[in-house]
Structure 1
Amino acid sequence: MHKCVLTSLALAMISGAAFAQTSELDGLIEAARAEPPTTVYAVTGKIVETAEAFSLKYGLQVTGKKVNESGQIDLLIREHQAGNVTGSVSLASDASVIIADLLSQGVVESWVPQDIAPYLPESARDPLVVVSDPHVWAYNSEAYEACPISNIWQLTDAEWSRRVTLMDPLDKPAYADWFNQLAEHHDAAVAAAYEANYGKPFDGAGESATQAWVKAFAANSPLIGDSSVVAEAIGAPGQEQPFFGMLSTAKFRDNESKGFKLAICTEMQPFSGWLYPGLGVIATGTPAPNTAKLFIYYLLTDEGIEAQRIDGKVPSDPRIGLPDDEPSGVGDVMDQMMVWNTASATSDIDARQDWQDIWRMSLTR
């Protein structure tokens, strides 16, 4: 399945496809026009312009609201408990909580258009993954002719103490879940990277290679910040010794708007980054269920996802590609990315606090 997902994502680099009007779509449009206005939540501010374009296209009143992962979960639960659902669609919230808790409790439901489902990889259908958000290891291309790092274990060495940056796993749960994904599905690859870097097999005395790496990485005093702090620390021009680090490809737009010099570190062992699943779910009990379905349908088209494609977010439908002017170039390294396994959502949730505790106790500032 791992190779199939990679193949499907790699195929997404082809040019965008046109989507014909269908009877399913016609029925949704007609039913939606009899429903009240509604709101859609997403972690990206691009949802505002997407909702505006959607409303104009279909003659509906849908408002886009940027809400972070934990905020979306809180809103979905509180609105469900109150029986007063305002936000009918949640996009790219906390994937593990959505899958392990909210779907099973009936707070949200996953819906996939019959017209589009056959084109999606099986791993993106239940629950629906609208896009995957790449988080990549990055460096400053002005300061370095090529990436100065080739192996994640280098980030635990004294040479890179206080010179690596990323978002806080205590505040950004996807990063703690990334540790669990590595440990559960790719620990052998982390151990192989250790051997490649140090010339001897990993011997953790009962400790996984991933756990040993997380501890050593945190102990090497990385700079913790929000996405803007991380992007500036790595990519701001004029630095003699810029930081190395991890961030979402969405921040590569700063190369044009701010003159940053962000570049992806390719051929990194064991991975150059990871693909976080951006789920699209519908709030159970919304007074605008057909509008919600129509909006999900819209997000699965090249027109509906255009604003996010330019940020390097990879559509699940392989008929839709990344734009030629997507600034990060992540389309060229899809085979070097760790693909998220949504089947491990329960494990990710159960282990999240443990990984955050390991990080917290090991972190040296």
Structure 2
Amino acid sequence: MRKVLTVLCCFFLCATALSGCSDKGTKEPEKQPDNAQTPSESTGGIDQTTFEELLQKGIENGKKVTVYSTHSVVVSGCEAFKNKYNLDVEFECTQIGDTNQITQVAEEVASGAEGADLIFIQDGARVMSDLVDEGYVYNWYNQEIYDLVGADTEPLLVYDYCNKVFIFNSDNVKEEDLTNIWYVTDEKYKGTVQMKDPYSEGVNMDFLTQITSDDYAAKLEAAYKDYYGTDLVLDSDCPNAGYQWIKMLYNNGLVVGSSDGDIAQAIGAEGQSEQWSALITLNKYKKNLDKGYKLGFASSVTPFAGFIYPIYGLLTSNADNPDMAKAFLCWLFTEEGWFGNGELKINDGSVYNGMTGRFGDYSGNTNLKVTDGDKTVKEWKSILVEEDPIYCSEHRADVEDFINLIK
């Protein structure tokens, strides 16, 4: 059951709103302008509307702002933002996974039903093909966001970067044992490598898709020779080294799980003799390490130590209060929006801490500091596979079909 937090606190209003019981239920969806994915040329390029102007327009509009997010911090951020500016505008913020978000947003916008103004969502392949290309959501940023985020405003605005790395049971495996990504295909580790099922975790399927691109496949081919000492010979059904790595991973007994957190605890339990390892989020690694589980992670893996993927912030094309949604989006890229200020409260009276102290979450505004002991986005990008939502949307179906045949 997804968690729904409504800034005005009335749970029956949440249920009513989500069922579409409002005058918006009969509203025809607005066609998104052809130039919605990039700022209008008529304004000289990037939208010059300021945060203060957006906030004022949103107040004048007065309609409710509805936000869907895969990340719980955004939900509490809605409350903090509303309380900071003492807004009469209602905020309804829902934590909902990317698969359900995609289905729900597509249905709501297509029918003109009440729904989200702003979404925070991962799985770039499906976001591009099912939402952006269909005109249900669009990419937006103003000059203020661009000055903070730069190139990561396109093709989709990155709100948050997350990463998945190879973790292992530190009682049985040493980091120097895992220095080449082809280890997952080695008979020595047969049946001991885990990851969340790519068919239920879109970003995992995007990772497998991304490594079939020419650049990453070439890196994998070179790494194969480093590990095995011979040139890679492709199977007839493998177009390149990316496909070959996927095939050999599955054929070596990949264990698929349903939760990164559960996998971390299974890997890190004391008293095991197996050389367990897994590809999971750094955030889950750190949380369970702090609970006493025996975990380490490998960051010196050839040619890459995992992958980094975005949570995107996007506007829906039939938003009721787009200006207030944009103002909230702007605020999230500020230091206060990301970390809080030590005083800003949410509705239960606790202090809004945002992403303070979290491993594995990195703002699209890379000027903001990362948690002590973590790496910067730039450092992570240099050692991880980076998701390209356009490539993934164009090639993911091919990879899904391939895995169906070989698993």
Q: TM class, shorter-chain normalised? A: 0.7 to 0.9
Superposed CA offset, 1:66-107 (max 9, x none): 111111101111110221232111112331222234223221
Change (3 A) 1:42 1:262: farther
**1:62 corresponds to which residue?**
91
Superposed CA offset, 1:159-210 (max 9, x none): 1112111011111122222122111131000101110111111121553111
Change (3 A) 1:261 1:87: farther
Matched, 1:38 2:65: yes
**1:324 corresponds to which residue?**
372
Determine the C-alpha separation between the residues in 1 that align with 2:270 and 2:331.
Answer: 38
**2:76 corresponds to which residue?**
49
Matched, 1:271 2:319: no
Greater alpha carbon shift after TM alignment, 104-113 vs 92-101: 92-101
Contact 2:122–2:309 under 8 Å retained in 1? no
Determine the C-alpha separation between the residues in 2 that align with 1:304 and 1:249.
Answer: 22
One-letter amino acid matched to 2:225: E
Determine the C-alpha separation between the residues in 1 that align with 2:276 and 2:173.
Answer: 11
Give percent identity, aligned residues only: 24
**1:199 corresponds to which residue?**
229
Superposed CA offset, 1:118-176 (max 9, x none): 34232433321112211111123344443532112121122111211101111112222
Change (3 A) 1:143 1:352: same
User: Once superposed, what is the RMSD of the aligned Cα atoms?
Assistant: 2.4
Superposed CA offset, 1:43-79 (max 9, x none): 1222322222122112243232111111110111111
Determine the C-alpha separation between the residues in 2 that align with 1:360 and 1:257.
Answer: 37
| Number of equivalences | 338
Greater alpha carbon shift after TM alignment, 328-337 vs 46-55: 328-337
One-letter amino acid matched to 1:189: K
Contact 1:237–1:259 under 8 Å retained in 2? no
Query: Where has structure 1 moved over 4 Å in runs of 4 or more?
Result: 328-334
Contact 1:224–1:230 under 8 Å retained in 2? no
One-letter amino acid matched to 1:322: V
* TM-score under structure 2 length normalisation: 0.76
* Deviation of the 1:283 alpha carbon: 0.9
Find the partner of 2:254 among 222, 229, 246.
222
Find the partner of 1:291 among 319, 324, 329.
324
Contact 1:312–1:330 under 8 Å retained in 2? no
Find the partner of 1:165 among 188, 194, 198.
194
Aligned residue runs from structure 1 range 1-365, under 5 A: 24-34=50-60, 35-60=62-87, 61-184=90-213, 185-204=215-234, 207=238, 208-225=240-257, 226-241=259-274, 243-255=276-288, 258-306=291-339, 307-308=354-355, 310-324=358-372, 333-344=380-391, 348-363=392-407
One-letter amino acid matched to 1:89: L
Mark the structure with the bigger radius of gyration: 2
Larger RCO, structure (CA 8 Å, separation 6 or more): 1
One-letter amino acid matched to 1:318: T
One-letter amino acid matched to 2:298: C
* Deviation of the 1:242 alpha carbon: 5.2
* Secondary structure of the structure 2 residue equivalent to 1:112: coil
* TM-score under structure 1 length normalisation: 0.84
* Secondary structure of the structure 1 residue equivalent to 2:142: coil
Q: Which runs of 5+ in 1 are unaligned?
A: 1-21
Contact 1:29–1:58 under 8 Å retained in 2? no
* Deviation of the 1:218 alpha carbon: 0.6
Determine the C-alpha separation between the residues in 1 that align with 2:49 and 2:209.
Answer: 43
Change (3 A) 1:319 1:230: same
* Secondary structure of the structure 2 residue equivalent to 1:116: helix
Contact 2:185–2:252 under 8 Å retained in 1? yes
Contact 1:38–1:86 under 8 Å retained in 2? no
Determine the C-alpha separation between the residues in 1 that align with 2:286 and 2:114.
Answer: 34
* Secondary structure of the structure 2 residue equivalent to 1:87: coil
Determine the C-alpha separation between the residues in 2 that align with 1:170 and 1:94.
Answer: 12
Contact 2:125–2:390 under 8 Å retained in 1? no
Change (3 A) 1:285 1:126: same
Change (3 A) 1:49 1:261: farther
Determine the C-alpha separation between the residues in 2 that align with 1:65 and 1:237.
Answer: 37
* Deviation of the 1:351 alpha carbon: 2.9
One-letter amino acid matched to 1:258: K
